[in-house]
A = this chain, B = another copy of it.
């Protein structure tokens, strides 16, 4: 496997497509550049999805994340773009991305976006007593 930043999102076949199961991924090492000042920005990404036919390969996801290292990117726009890229590559039943940006000017900002496949309805959740 290449160890260059890459915008390709390699995938593999979902081993259990008969179930609506969830994959949760946390990436604390996202960094890009502020398009206004050119200075580095940092965020933690939280990606949750229910796969359809494809799952994302984790090493490829890492190289994809790396590809933002030298790009300028606004908080709101970049979160939506990453979600859109992943949706295009995986065509998941459901996907949600939360980007938790580091504090700037005393203000903390998170952006959360989600995608639902057309015609897909979420299973009614089972809430076990706690």
Contact = CB atoms under 8 A, between A and B. Distances in A.
A86 interface: no
A116 B128 CA distance: 13
A117 B114 CA distance: 20
A109 B77 contact: no
Q: How many copies altogether?
A: 10
A112 B40 contact: no
B66 A40 contact: yes
Nearest to A39: B3
B111 A22 contact: yes
Interface of A: 3-4, 14-16, 19, 21-29, 31, 37-40, 42, 48, 50-51, 55, 58-59, 61-62, 66, 69, 74, 76-77, 79-80, 94, 96, 98, 102-116, 122, 124-130
